[in-house]
A and B are shown apart, each in its own frame.
Chain A
Amino acid sequence: GQNIDQPTEMTATEGAIVQINCTYQTSGFNGLFWYQQHAGEAPTFLSYNVLDGLEEKGRFSSFLSRSKGYSYLLLKELQMKDSASYLCAVSAKAAGNKLTFGGGTRVLVKP
């Protein structure tokens, strides 16, 4: 099976930087996704990494190391609206290319 771990909750101050780590164990890795989900809403796509390295998209960046089974999502210049759950999801051939989600990291941004 697959195992995806991410912290349950993180708190940060408005304007700061927060890094959400995600570790995974899987067979036939086929990509890692990050999603943002506000309470009561569906997830919104943030990033997709399949090769090692850092991908930057505005205030959000995502990093992947396939050899370490590790990814992180970096949120810069935090805003109050960034308070949400952040979901790490892995696609793997062993799971028929379906996404397997971590439990999500709830980020609380304080003024």
Chain B
Amino acid sequence: GAVVSQHPSWVICKSGTSVKIECRSLDFQATTMFWYRQFPKQSLMLMATSNEGSKATYEQGVEKDKFLINHASLTLSTLTVTSAHPEDSSFYICSARAFMDRRLEQYFGPGTRLTVT
């Protein structure tokens, strides 16, 4: 299957600082990228949908000024958690979607575990 990478794998930061997470589709061009958040023992929660060259579409309740998404190319999207607070500590996972062999496929990155102290 296709490969999606995320960097960093984990990060610890102090309250009030910003953290940038990178998501790359390594061997395919993604038509759309998604950002999810998952708290322990809970389902994946979609935060935003991102298409290359256009503004991200945020889900209800997700602050766009706090979670900045930049989709610079068909293979790279970044999520910046601005002024992070302990309640932002979570597992952030990106996902990339593309048509492959006329089939729609969507792959997840390995996730970034963010801990805000």
Give how many A residues have a beta carbon under 8 Å from the other chain's beta carbons: 21
With beta carbons under 8 angstroms apart, the residue of B1, B34, B110 that contacts A99 is B34
Please, which residues of chain A bring their CB within 8 A of the CB of B78?
none
- A98 and B50 alpha carbons, distance in the complex (Å): 11
Given contacts A45-B1, A48-B105, contact A98 B49 (CB under 8 A): yes
B110 contacts across to A, CB distance below 8 A = 41-42
Give the CA-CA distance A38 to B104 in the complex, in Å. 23
Bin the interface of chain B by size.
Answer: 20 to 34
**Chain A residues with CB below 8 A from B107, complex form:** 45
- Is A63 close to B, CB under 8 A? no
Q: Is A75 an interface residue (CB 8 A)?
A: no
Q: Are B106 and A45 in contact (CB under 8 A)?
A: yes
Contact with A along B79-117 (1 / 0, CB 8 A): 000000000000101010000000111111111000000
* Alpha-carbon distance A98/B109, docked complex (angstroms): 17
A98 touching B46, Cβ below 8 Å: yes
Closest A-B pairs by Cβ, 4 of them? A42-B111, A42-B108, A42-B93, A43-B108
